[in-house]
């Protein structure tokens, strides 16, 4: 029995490390400054979901038929959403419904991103625009974000899954995907 508890604690620690790396990447300032994603609760949620999609795809590829790591990572995501909503003062009776919506959003977006990424950068840019910037703005750089996502997926294919589970998530630097205008 103690071995089971130790394995569960180790898996939880790995999920915590990996989720922390996902959130850290999603909080990179370049996404908000250069890609034109609003630095709001919704914008942050969308970027966490986008990076969760990338990591979940890697886990699906690395551990075919074994959903344990994906499940534990999603559980960590759900716990984070629950904690955030409670910190924001969402009522106790409303939190479960909102968390369920956040989890459903993760699944729906992951499915859409999976389909679109198989069709190329233009299709992925459209899918990203549907969720991340539903109200089109000239600041949102959908093509550049799609290029980042495709490069991140390529880089993740080469990462050792054990390194990833240790929280080592070497994704591309988002700073290099948007051409910056020089101030004169």
CA distance 152 to 132: 17
- Kindly state whether residue 173 falls inside one of the protein's structural domains: no
Give residue 182's pLDDT: 47
- Kindly state whether residue 181 falls inside one of the protein's structural domains: no
CA distance 88 to 17: 24
Give the global pTM.
Answer: 0.89
- Kindly state whether residue 114 falls inside one of the protein's structural domains: yes
Structural domain that includes position 111:
10-166
Q: What does the DSSP 8-state code read for residue 27?
A: T
- Kindly state whether residue 85 falls inside one of the protein's structural domains: yes
- Kindly state whether residue 93 falls inside one of the protein's structural domains: yes
Instruction: Give the number of other CB atoms < 10 A from CB of residue 85.
Output: 20
Give me the phi and psi of 89, to 5 degrees please.
Answer: 90, 15
- Kindly state whether residue 179 falls inside one of the protein's structural domains: no
The CATH number of residue 24's host domain is: 1.10.357
pLDDT tens profile 49-106: 999 999 999 999 999 988 999 999 999 998 988 888 888 888 778 888 888 998 999 9
- Kindly state whether residue 175 falls inside one of the protein's structural domains: no
CA distance 10 to 8: 5
pLDDT tens profile 93-135: 888 888 899 899 999 999 999 999 999 999 999 999 999 986 7
Q: How many domains does the chain have?
A: 1
Mean pLDDT of 154-171: 91
* pLDDT at position 8 over 70: no
Average pLDDT, the chain: 88
pLDDT tens profile 25-51: 999 999 999 999 999 889 999 999 999
- Kindly state whether residue 63 falls inside one of the protein's structural domains: yes
């Amino acid at each position: 029995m103690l071995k089971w508890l130790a394995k569960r604690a180790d898996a939880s620690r790995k999920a915590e490390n990996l989720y922390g790396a996902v959130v850290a990447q999603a909080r990179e300032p370049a996404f908000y400054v250069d890609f034109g994603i609003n630095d709001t609760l919704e914008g942050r949620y969308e970027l966490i979901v986008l990076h969760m999609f990338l990591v979940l795809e890697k886990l699906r590829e690395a551990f075919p038929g074994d959903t344990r790591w994906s499940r534990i990572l999603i559980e960590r995501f759900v716990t984070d959403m629950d904690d955030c909503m409670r910190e924001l003062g969402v009522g106790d009776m409303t939190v479960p419904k909102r968390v369920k919506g956040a989890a459903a959003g993760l699944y729906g977006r992951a499915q859409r991103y999976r389909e679109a990424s198989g069709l190329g950068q233009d299709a992925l840019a459209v899918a990203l625009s549907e969720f991340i910037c539903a109200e089109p703005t000239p600041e949102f750089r959908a093509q550049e974000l799609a290029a980042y996502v495709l490069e991140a997926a390529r880089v993740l294919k080469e990462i050792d899954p054990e390194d990833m589970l240790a929280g080592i998530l070497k994704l591309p630097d988002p700073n290099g995907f948007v051409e910056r205008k020089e101030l004169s």
